Amino acid sequence: MSARPIWPAFALGWRQRCPACGQGRLYSKYLKVVDQCDQCGQALHHHRADDAPPYFTMLIVGHVIVGLVLKVEMTYHPELLVHLLLWGPSTLLLSLFLLPRIKGALIGIQWAARMHGFGAGRDPALPDALPDAPPVRHG
């Protein structure tokens, strides 16, 4: 079985592109993964991102926002209303920006590592690739 490079698949997923060909869209809606790539036919329906994207999004957003809140508070000492008006929308927008990108990156990693069904069959990223295993003979 040929190796699939992790970092290019991660980057393609981050850009919300098919990790196999880099051309097809990963989502049909905001977070709804397409069943298969419209360019190369790679099946994408068996990804298992589950709770990891929201977890990593909260981890990143929390560290960024809390760091900025502390920096602004220590430097400028703004009123509480300023904090509310600044950090509420910032948290929401940063979360909405990161969530689909993180989910895409995790799908790209799963594809590259051949996890959750991404290893079966012919590899669309390698058009000349042989099937992973010879056909089974019955009889």
- Annotate 81-92 with DSSP letters as a single string: HHHHHHHHHHHH
Q: Which has the closest alpha carbon to 104: 56, 41, 38, 65?
A: 56
Chain position carrying tokens 């927008």: 93
Q: Residue 119: which pLDDT band, with cuts at 50, 70 and 90?
A: confident
Which residues constitute the domain of residue 46?
A: 6-112
Q: How does pLDDT run across 50-100, given as a tens digit for each residue?
A: 999 999 999 999 999 999 999 999 999 999 999 999 999 999 999 999 999
Domain assignment of residue 103, yes or no: yes
Q: For the chain, how many structural domains are there in total?
A: 1
Q: Residue 131: which pLDDT band, with cuts at 50, 70 and 90?
A: very low
The structure's pTM equals 0.83
Domain assignment of residue 1, yes or no: no
Q: Which has the closest alpha carbon to 107: 40, 50, 23?
A: 50
Cα 33 from Cα 123, distance rounded (Å)? 19
Domain assignment of residue 133, yes or no: no
Phi-psi group of 121: left, alpha or beta (phi > 0 → left; psi -120 to 50 → alpha; rest → beta): left
Chain position carrying tokens 């058009």: 127
Cα 16 from Cα 26, distance rounded (Å)? 5
Domain assignment of residue 57, yes or no: yes
Domain assignment of residue 43, yes or no: yes
Domain assignment of residue 97, yes or no: yes
Cα 3 from Cα 22, distance rounded (Å)? 17
